[in-house]
Amino acid sequence: MYDLSSGEKRKALIDVAYSFLVRSQERDKQIILAVDEPDASLHISACYEQFSRLFELVKLGHQIIITTHWYGYLPIISEGSATSMKKTSANEVDVNFFDLYNYREKITQDRKKINGILPYDISLKSHNDLVQSITYSLIGASTYNWLICEGISEKIYFEHIFSDKILDSNLKILPVGGYKEVKKIYESLISPMNDPDYSIKGTVYCLIDTDTEILKVEVKSIKNLYFKRLLNKQQETELVNIDSNASTPPTEIEDCLNPKIYFKTLQSFADKDEDIKNILATNEYNSQAKVSGDTLDLKPSQQKLLKGFFDKNMGMNKVLFAKQYVEISNLDEFDKEQEAKWITDIKSTLKKSANPAKPTNDIKPSQAKSTTTNAVELSSQKIDSKKEIIALPEEGDTPVVEEIFEDNEPIIEEFFEDEGDIDLDDSF
């Protein structure tokens, strides 16, 4: 240990904790692991692997709390929360909280409300950090794939539709807050993904809706980098090139879903929304429909009402509908529904991972907990009432494990340092 650099020591400590916890999955309690600046003195490529490894522990049911100055972790972590702190000119502490489930979309929404310089908490999560983090994930030891989409409702659909690829292909689904933000990420990835010095192992798939406004993009033919639009044509959803002139009809993700599940989801909202109730009362289900956009033969005025339904509550109806759609799609009656071709086509571009993710229970964004200081917390689904805390300290200090019992009588056990080596007490 004494021959290692400061960054290598931090990496070694996390390796020890990781190896121990991975090999002790049968234990009847979870760990709260606190790490101070795991990225300190590490090259950015090592930072990415460091945070990825910590996130693996979350999937095993443990809870991770870290402090950091590196914001490249943001796209890596999809469950949890972050808190940034800054001392203002008035010598006060400014605290801002972020849900890591959809932070990029929230940045874009906040930007629309602000004239001039963005707040400190938003500017920290820079575009460059995001692109840099994605790039290193594509060339690292593990193969990662990315699906860059517009909003949180797309993320909800895609996490369900591509659940198998999230596991076997390390697929990460990142909503960034609109088609213009997707375009910016695509354009920023062209140079590094086209660099012959980089061995790109994973795929980045940028996917947006087809709007009435055509997006002007200079498309480059680059291996493993795609930019497509969803477009309904001839009763099917197609993936058209972003620079295609085809733009009618306007197509959103809600138009590209399974028609049977979509219709049943609409029915579930009839008691909550008068417009949906009236639409369903005056239109019959089209049993020949292959996409949700053809489920009902609506008049222009009714099409406007349906669009208005999704836009209600500042767009939150789209999110609520997506969650309900996923819940209904898990019913036994829809087990044998055929997968849409556009979904199969996207799956075919994703690369298999040499180190696929392990299946875990779903973690909802609402379960993410807040943190203190300039920190990020990665939350497991639940923490047992009987749990342990491991604190990985500053260099030179002794790591401490605190075991907390329901009777609130803590017992302190320690890692031991002996001639530069770190051993774990068997009682731990």
Inter-residue contact 174 to 144 (CB < 8 Å): no
CA atoms within 13 A on the CB side of 134: 28
Say if strands 375-378 and 63-67 run parallel, antiparallel, or are unpaired.
antiparallel
Residue with tokens 């840099």: 132
Structure tokens of 3? 């021959």
pLDDT of residue 355: 64
Closest to 38 measured CA to CA, from 60, 61, 18, 62:
18
Say if strands 145-149 and 400-404 run parallel, antiparallel, or are unpaired.
unpaired
Structure tokens of 99? 């849900």
Residue with tokens 């680059």: 222
Helices 300-311 and 274-281 pack at an angle, to 10 degrees, of 150
SS3 label, residue 58: helix
Closest to 257 measured CA to CA, from 303, 199, 319, 325:
325
Residue 61 CB neighbours (<10 A): 19
pLDDT of residue 251: 95
pLDDT of residue 416: 34
Structure tokens of 86? 């800054």
**Separation between Cα atoms, residue 59 and residue 66, nearest integer Å:** 16
**Separation between Cα atoms, residue 8 and residue 14, nearest integer Å:** 10
Residue with tokens 């983090």: 133
Element (H, E) at 152: helix 152-161
Query: Each residue's pLDDT tens digit in the chain (428 positions)?
Result: 567 777 777 778 888 888 888 777 666 677 888 888 888 877 766 777 788 778 778 877 888 888 887 777 766 666 778 887 778 788 888 887 777 766 666 666 665 555 555 454 444 455 777 788 889 889 877 788 999 999 889 999 999 999 999 988 989 998 888 888 899 999 999 999 999 998 999 999 999 999 887 778 888 889 999 999 999 998 999 999 998 888 889 999 999 999 999 999 999 999 999 999 999 999 999 999 999 999 999 999 999 999 999 998 878 899 999 999 999 999 999 999 999 999 999 999 998 775 666 554 443 333 333 333 345 565 544 434 444 444 444 544 444 333 333 344 433 333 333 334 434 333 33
Inter-residue contact 279 to 298 (CB < 8 Å): yes
pTM greater than 0.75 (yes/no): no
Residue 127 main-chain phi, psi, to 5 deg: -60, -40
Length of the chain: 428
Say if strands 387-392 and 400-404 run parallel, antiparallel, or are unpaired.
antiparallel
SS3 label, residue 384: coil
pLDDT of residue 359: 55
SS3 label, residue 173: strand
SS3 label, residue 4: coil
The β-bridge partners of 98 are: 82
Contacts of 140 (CB under 8 A, 6+ apart): 45, 48, 49, 52, 201
**Separation between Cα atoms, residue 262 and residue 188, nearest integer Å:** 35
